[in-house]
Every structure is written in structure tokens, then in C-alpha cells.
Amino acid sequence: MHIHILGICGTFMGGLAAIAKQLGHRVSGCDANVYPPMSTQLEQLGIELKQGYLTEHLKDEPDLVIVGNAMSRGNVMVEYVLDRNIAYTSGPQWLLDNVLKDRWVLAISGTHGKTTTSSMVAWILEYAYMKPGFLIGGVPQNFDCSARLGDAPFFVIEADEYDTAFFDKRSKFVHYRPRTLVINNMEFDHADIFNDLSDIQRQFHHLIRMVPSNGLVLSPKNESAITETLAQGCWTPTEFSVEDESSNEGWHAEKVIADGSEFIVRFKGEIQGTVKWNLIGDFNIDNGLMAIAASRHAGVPSHVAIDALAEFINTKRRLELRGEVNQVRVFDDFAHHPTAIAKTLAGVKANVNTLIGDGKSRRVIAVLEPRSNTMKSGIHKDTLPVSLSQADIVYLYQGEQVKWSVDALIQDCKQPCFVETNIETLVSHIVENSQVGDTIVVMSNGGFGDIHNKLLIALENKASI
């Protein structure tokens, strides 16, 4: 079968293309921007790529068109497909029909931590010689790909609540039919498609209704939005992560080192082992607990999962150390929501505090681009200053698409706060004021003008003067 994918260079659709190729289909696709690394990965798999949305790309008429959720009515290729009655479907629906319907699906959902936790679960199963299939919306560094069909019954998927396609406004994850469901957390996001938190809870309720009675739903206990959603109806056993170490129910983590790089794991009060890894932050402890619990449901003993996490390499762009120059560290993080920003900075601050005492300044410098659709619209602008409170200095980038004045945040920030509209000027300002021992955390869900490399190059030049 010849399958053509509209919007093929997105992480999800690119992963879908790789799986379709592994199933033996002829796969082609197009996107508004075809560029590395996704274009390189796809071309190496023998997938035909075309630049732009042009009807001529469909002259060799495919048997099926898979339509990405970035496509809308009015797009010339969408109109061409509809007018000529070419068979089409969405990515999530194709995945269900051709891959997931016969698999044990481990779906990782929630507002934050989906990519990291999915990568952890896939790696734990791989470490346990279970050879899972997976589709992850990022670059899992324990693997050489973000998606594969796999040889086992198990399939790990990052379960996104974003809508499916222009013709199917349900959340993607309702197509996945999981047996193991992780709900990391639940907050209001994606203001371009949801009106409020209750809209998101409704979609999660639909997902929970699909988990079989011999499955498992995993989530933190006493998180109100999740508790309310489960109360709408749940016909599946549940397990929770709990904060009380004396509790004999659920999963609990006890930090050995304050920055979260070592912690003891308990299940129903019994010690399962100690995780010692290269990650930091309470949010990664939460992700790790859920990954251990989900893997246990699939048959991996807790101690094996703990051993696996010791060798886990965090997903790219999830608090990823991009480089260190003259003892100034530059991290890249995908944080795009105030809660994620706050948790990221808290983890970095805890890590920095373990280093204090060596005479260096040890400041945390936050560099934020409000780029997600929700952030650009200004939905979270009132909570941003508090989310940035763990930083010693804040730099904000006023991008052209931001629909509100970022300058308004300056007066609400307790620490020094600067706004720039030009990336080159922003880099110069940061580097000029940097000191030995600083940790710079760049936060954006986009490329941010390659600011990470520009910072490292400018820091090198400063060090050589």
C-alpha cells in the first residue's frame, strides 16, 4: 500500500511514517518545512519527502492519506483529497487500526512529563529484554529512533490530549485503548482547543472508560483534577503515588540527595530499591515512580526497573545539558507551562545548592520564550512571575507572535528581570552579565533561534578574551 502523510516532519507523524515503513508499506509525505534531523531520519528509512503542501505531490495517487492535526480546511492538499474522494484517516486512528488493536498498550498521559516518562518505560522494558514497540514525541537517547514497531506484545506511547485532526476533534489518546494508563498530572493547557480544565477532564474521562477491568490506572493521589475525573467513573484497578512515607498504600519516593539524583522507592510500605541516576528534580522522581509502576504492571520486577533507570539517559530537550564553558552550564528545557517551569527551576536550584560552598556565585539564570499557543495568548501570564521565583535572574524574550506585552511581568518579578525583542541582543546581555558558576536554563517548546549554541559560542569568546 502507498501511504502519503501530510505533516510528516512532526515527531508523532514522523514516528508513524517509520512504523508504516516497518510494516512494509511504501511511504511518502510532505510538510511545510522539511529539514534535519527528522528529514534525514526519514530519508535513511527510504521514505520519500516533499517540500510544501502542493497538489502535485499527490499526482501519483496514494492508496491512503494520513492527515496530521496541523492540517485544516482550506489547505490545498486537504481540499484536493476531499474533492477527489481519496481515502484518508488520522494518524491516531491509523495507529489503532494497524498496530495498537492487538497490543498491550502502555499509554503515558498528563500535562507534563509524558515524553520523559514514556522514554523511561520504553527503556525499562528494553532493559528487561522485552523489545517493546514505542512512539515517543521526542528523542529518547537510550534508542536510535523515536518510534519502532517492536517484537513484543508491549507498545509504549506518549498519549497526548491534543486534538486528532480537523475532522476528529477528540483527543489523540482516545484512539490508543491502553491496558496500562499513566496520568502524570492534569492542568489547563492547549487554550487553542480547550475552553477550560473541565474540557480536558472530559477527554480524560473518555480515555479512562476505555481501560479494561484487567488493566491499571496509575496517577498521583490527592491531585484534585485527577480525583474529580476518576470520580466520573473508573472500572479499572488504580495505584497511586503518595507523599506519606508511612503509608502502606501506593508508591512513595524518599529523597536521599536533595536534588533528586538519588531516592528510595517504596511500594505499599516495602522498600523496592534505590534509584541512583543522572537526572535531578522532584518532577523526574514523580516520572520515575510512574515508570517503575507501569513497567511492573507489564511484568518487570521493581528492582529490575530501578537498575534500568540507573542507565537511563534523559530525553533530548528535557533539562538537557547542552554544554559548559568557563564553569557556566547551559541547559535546554522544553518547559512551556508555569508548573513545568517552576518544577524545572526548583530542581536546578536544589542541584545548585549541593554545589554551594566552593566560593563560586552559583546563580540560576532563567531564559524564557513564551512560545506555546497557550503562553502566546497570555493565558498564563499572571502565574509566570511566581513560576520563575527560583531563578536569581530572569531573561524574557518578546517574540513576534506573543500577543501580550512581556514587559508587564518585570514589575511582578522579585528578582532582576529583563525583556529583549532580539535574540542576538539577548545573548549579548546574558553573556556580558554571566559569572563563573552560573547555571543558565533556557526554556522554550521551540527552537528559540538556536540560542543555546549562540550562548555557548559567546561564552567561549568571552573566556578567550
Contact 430, 440 (CB under 8 A): yes
| pTM check: above 0.85 | no
Alpha helices in 45-113 (DSSP H): 76-83, 91-98
Cis geometry, peptide bond prior to residue 132 (ω within 30 degrees of 0): no
Per-residue three-class SS string for 101-167 = HHCEEEEEECCCCHHHHHHHHHHHHHHCCCCCEEECCCCCCCCCCCEECCCCCEEEEECCCCEEECC
Name 454's Cβ contacts closer than 8 Å, sequence gap at least 6: 423, 424, 427
The answer to whether 115 and 318 are in contact (CB under 8 A) is yes
pLDDT of amino acid 318 = 78
Residue 373: the pLDDT is 64
Both 85 and 104 in one domain: the answer is no
Domain CATH code at residue 23: 3.40.50.720
Residue 464 has a pLDDT of 65
Indicate whether 352 belongs to any domain.
yes
Instruction: Return the closest-CA partner of residue 184 out of 304, 284, 100.
Output: 284
On whether both 221 and 264 belong to a single domain, the answer is yes
Nearest Cα residue to 116 out of 283, 315, 339: 315
Q: Which domain holds residue 444?
A: 320-464
Specify the CATH number for the domain of residue 414.
Answer: 3.90.190.20
Among 286, 309, 332, the domain boundary falls at 309
Please indicate, yes or no, whether residues 283 and 228 belong to a single structural domain of this protein: yes
Between the alpha carbon of residue 455 and those of residues 80, 345, 393, the distances in Å are 45, 19, 16
Residue 133: inside a domain: yes
168 and 135 in one domain? yes
Task: Spell out the per-residue pLDDT of the chain, length 465, in tens.
Answer: 999 999 998 889 999 999 999 999 999 999 998 776 777 888 888 999 999 999 999 999 999 999 999 999 999 999 999 999 999 999 999 999 999 999 999 999 998 889 999 999 999 999 999 999 999 987 788 898 889 999 889 999 999 998 999 999 999 999 999 999 999 989 877 667 778 889 999 999 999 999 999 999 999 988 899 999 999 999 999 999 988 766 778 999 999 998 899 999 999 999 999 999 988 888 899 999 999 999 999 999 999 999 999 999 987 777 888 999 988 999 998 876 888 888 889 888 988 887 766 656 689 999 988 876 666 666 777 778 888 888 999 998 887 777 667 777 777 788 888 888 899 999 999 999 899 999 999 988 778 888 999 999 988 888 765
393 domain residue, yes or no: yes
Residue 386 in domain: yes
Q: Are residues 24 and 162 in the same domain?
A: no
Instruction: Using DSSP bridges, classify how beta strands 147-148 and 133-135 pair: parallel, antiparallel or unpaired.
Output: antiparallel
Residues 87 and 196 in one domain: no
Task: List phi, psi (to 5°) of 452.
Answer: -65, -50
What is the Cα–Cα distance from 353 to 439, expressed in whole angstroms?
11
User: In 3-state terms, what secondary structure has residue 230?
Assistant: helix
Q: Residue 357 has what pLDDT? A: 62
The confidence score (pLDDT) of residue 185 equals 87
Q: With 0-12 CB in 10 A as exposed, 13-18 as middle and 19+ as buried, what is 203? A: buried
Cβ neighbors of 386 (< 8 A, separation 6 or more) are: 338, 342
Does residue 73 sit within a domain? Answer: yes
Could you tell me the CATH number of the domain that includes residue 183? 3.40.1190.10
One domain for residues 365 and 440:
yes
Contact by Cβ (8 Å): 293, 271: no
Of 309, 335, 359, which residue sits at a domain end?
A: 309
61 and 126 in a single domain? The answer is: no
Residue 369 lies in a domain: yes
Instruction: Name the domain count of the chain.
Output: 3
What is the model's pLDDT at position 421?
87
User: Among 65, 91, 117, where does a domain finish?
Assistant: 91
Three-state secondary structure string covering 274-288: EEECCCCCHHHHHHH
Asked, for residue 382, whether it belongs to a domain, the answer is: yes
Same domain, yes or no: 11 and 148: no
Same-domain check for residues 159 and 81: no
- In this predicted structure, what is the pLDDT of residue 204? 95
For helices 282-297 and 114-127, the axis angle rounded to 10 degrees is 50
Identify any residues that bridge with 27 across adjacent strands, giving them in sequence order.
3
User: Which pLDDT score, from 0 to 100, does residue 358 have?
Assistant: 62
Distance (Å, rounded) from C-alpha 122 to C-alpha 102? 18
Does one domain contain both 144 and 278? yes
Over its C-alpha atoms, the chain yields an Rg (Å, rounded) of 22
**Three cell numbers at 325?**
564553558
Calculate the alpha carbon distances from 56 to 5, 51, 110, 258, 310 in Å: 14, 11, 39, 58, 50
Grid coordinates representing 60 are: 501519483
Q: At which residue does the C-alpha cell 499509554 appear?
A: 107
Residues 293 and 343 in one domain: no
Whether 25 is in a domain gets the answer yes
Q: What is the pLDDT of residue 378?
A: 66
Identify the three-state secondary structure at position 269.
coil
